[in-house]
Structures are given as C-alpha cells and as structure tokens.
Amino acid sequence: MKVDRHGKAKILTTEEINLVFYEGLRDDRDRAMFALCLYTACRINECVTLRTTDVYYRQGIVRPEIIFRKGNTKGKLATRCIPVIEDLRSMLLRYYPSPRTWHYFPGLGNQGHLHPGSASRVLQKACHKVGVQGVSTHSFRRTALTLMSNEGIPLRIIQEISGHKSLQELQKYLEVTPEQVKGAVSSLSLLSPVKKSSYVHTPIPPQSQPQNNNSF
C-alpha cells in the first residue's frame, strides 16, 4: 500500500471501487477519467492527454477502441488501441466536453489538458470522503493488470494492453496475495514421493497377570 508516495499503489477491491466511483467521485467527468484508468489499465498521464477524437468519432459516438498515442505513452514506445467494454462505454457516454474541446479532459479555461496532479487531488479527496486509504491514480492500473493475471490471461497479452517494454517490468505491477502463495505451496503435495504406509497399527493388549496355581 502506498503511504506518503512510498510503496506500491493499493490494489482495489470491488467494494472499494464502488465506494470511490459512486460515493466519492463528484461528477461524470471524474468517473469517466478513472474508468479509463481502470478499464484500459492506462497511466494517468496517458488518460489526461487523450484527445476527444481518441475517444469519440466526430459524430459523438464512442469509438470501439481508445487510442493512446505513442507520443503520450511512457517511453514513447508505441501507440496502443484498447477495446472499450460496455462498463467503460456507459461511463464515457455520460461525459462529453461541451463545447467540444481538443483534449478530452481540458484544463482550466480549456487551455491544454488537465494536469495529472489535479487528477490525483480529485482522487485523494474522493478516497478521503469514503475512507479508502493507500490509493493513488496508479491503483486503477495495478488493479486491472493484477485482475487479468489472476484470471489466467497470458502475460504477453497483458503486456500488449499495459504497454510495458518487457514482461519483467510488467511483473513488478502484479500483486501476489498470501492466499495465492498458500494455495501454490499446497499444490506441491501432488508431487509427494512419500508412499503412504498400508500398515495398520494394531495395539498389543497388555499382558495378563500370571495365574497363581498354589492351593491351600
């Protein structure tokens, strides 16, 4: 869990996600912003630098894929196109900048894009309101990638979504729970070379006392 910018960003539970989205965040813009972070596993800078045309067609229809342009990604490695699932689409349909702006999340006075620091302050305020601690803007990315890993999605496919340069970098994001470690170790019992003994222990009855044959 992240404390004072130290440590890894918290992995959110379903209950915590519902609290933050529906009781913490104040408007449709903020919900659309962090829904993008959650449902595309993007970084916050990749999110706030999106152009409106990266999310919508000119007719105001949500694209089937969100376009994260190479120039706005970490390391500027490659452009990513992430499919839009229905949960994300419904969030995006509730927020459309009006009048239409160049950036999907415009800054003050429609100048440039929203600053990542401003997005972080919005999230911290929402989390404080509902009592969820240790969350950062990166929590949505880590939560999404860890969930996909736990569901058995191959790491190479997850890497395609996350945009990591290597699988080694991706693995740093993935959370391992104590329950998963315990389950993994428990599975090793299948490899046990020790043959179960078929010998049944039969307790030996106590020796009977010798009979006294002396007669009086």
CATH code, domain carrying 34: 1.10.443.10
* Segment 170-206, tens digit of pLDDT: 887 787 777 777 877 877 777 766 555 554 555 656 6
Domain membership of residue 206 (yes or no) is no
Task: Write down the number of H helices and E strands in the chain.
Answer: 10, 2
Domain membership of residue 50 (yes or no) is yes
Three-state DSSP state, 68 = strand
Domain membership of residue 124 (yes or no) is yes
φ, ψ (nearest 5 deg) of residue 125: -65, -40
Domains: count for the chain: 1
pLDDT for 160 beyond 80? yes
**What pLDDT score does 198 carry?**
53
Domain membership of residue 184 (yes or no) is no
The larger pLDDT score, comparing residue 76 to residue 81, is at: 81
Place of tokens 């428990």: 186
132: left (phi over 0), alpha (psi -120 to 50) or beta: beta
Nearest one of 137, 155, 109 to 45, comparing CA atoms = 137
**What pLDDT score does 126 carry?**
98
Taking only Cα atoms into account, the Rg of the chain, rounded to an integer number of angstroms, comes to 28
- Domain holding 116, by residue range, is 14-162
Look up the pTM and report it. Answer: 0.79
Cα atoms found within 13 Å of the Cα of residue 124, Cβ hemisphere only: 12
Domain membership of residue 25 (yes or no) is yes
Domain membership of residue 194 (yes or no) is no
**What pLDDT score does 5 carry?**
46
* Segment 19-29, tens digit of pLDDT: 999 999 999 99
Domain membership of residue 6 (yes or no) is no
Q: How confident is the model at residue 2 (pLDDT cuts 50, 70, 90)?
A: very low
**What pLDDT score does 3 carry?**
42
Instruction: Provide the sign of the torsion angle of the four alpha carbons 149, 153, 154, 155, taken in this order.
Output: negative
Domain membership of residue 212 (yes or no) is no
Mean pLDDT of 34-46: 96
